[in-house]
Amino acid sequence: MRVSAVIASLQRCISSILCVFARVFSKYNYWTTGACTGTSTAVLAAGSKVDQNTEQNRTTPTSVNYHFTRKCNYKCGFCFHTAKTSFVLPLEEAKRGLRLLKDSGMEKINFSGGEPFLHDRGEFLGQMVQYCKLDLQLPSVSIVSNGSMIREQWFQKYGDCLDILAISCDSFNEETNQLIGRTQGRKSHLDSLYKIRNWCQQYKVAFKINSVINTFNIDEDMTENIIQLNPVRWKVFQCLLIDGENAGEAALREAERFVISDQQFQEFLDRHSSVSCLVPESNEKMRNSYLILDEYMRFLDCREGRKDPSKSILDVGVKEAICFSGFDEKMFLKRGGKYVWSKGDMKLEW
């Protein structure tokens, strides 16, 4: 009887150990396959056919936003990608990461910051733009900038390789821009905006405007100015809070005073409904619909209202890192994230 009892006890112990291993393996299997696709571990266990489907359904980094620097010469109060570090990858390492993204299916790269023209006076940025267009032959290369550091010589050297240049402008009133922090010293932000618009026309670069709608510009009517500037797209964002960036104890900005309600944002959109190039982005549309790479080439997951980084694509590759991006591809498509983004296909009149 004693022997039987011992054997039964051992069997229970072995069974318990096997259950623990099964749970651990199940969790591991989820994060290495199902996390990228939304496929459950139960389904994944069904067979190799599901594994093949999983490979087919993995997220493709079609459009990527690379914030290669956090440094900026402006102090916009609502900024959600602040100067928490001064790190910038060496150029060759950045190029290696861009190649990895291209090999994984990237079609469009958008360079942002910080202020992307600040580092090395735009030369670092220009070499990446040139590399992406000539070496990687990407269909679309774009930049988002505040415009204050751009010089005509940059267009002369790199303009052929740039498809779209987006300039951030939140108001057509200089005092409002100063209240927001979109200014440096006595420089006129609006003078820079109009000058760059003319350069884009001259050097055949599609011109775009980005505006963040907040408590300081919510009542402004920008219709006449936008129609006059005639951008290919006018992206209108609802001011967004991100913990650790512009909200919370560890943040470098306090953006709570800039926040507007969904109703206020809709009223602004209604006021500008006659502007055909307007592309609205509410907090809901914006939060998880961008593939964002930080200065270390880590994807940033914003699903919890903060930026949780993946491992760098330089260390683990795109396929693994993108599983932790929090990217909502359906929302990306819903907000019009994929559009005619190569200037050669826009049929613009220069």
Q: Would you name the residues annotated as active-site residues? A: 72, 76, 79
Helices and strands in the chain: count of H runs, count of E runs: 15, 10
The SS3 of residue 65 is strand
What Rg do the C-alpha atoms of the chain give, in angstroms? 24
The CA-based angle 202-210-97, given to 5 degrees, is 85
* Phi and psi, residue 142, nearest 5°: -135, 165
Bridge partners of residue 60, in order along the sequence? none
* CB neighbourhood size of 158 (10 A): 22
Report how far residue 262's alpha carbon sits from residue 268's, in angstroms, rounded to the nearest whole number.
Answer: 10
Query: At residue 104, what is the residue type?
Result: S
Distance of CA 211 to the CA centre of its chain: 15
Bridge partners of residue 145, in order along the sequence? 167
Contact in structure between 118 and 68 (CB atoms under 8 Å) = no
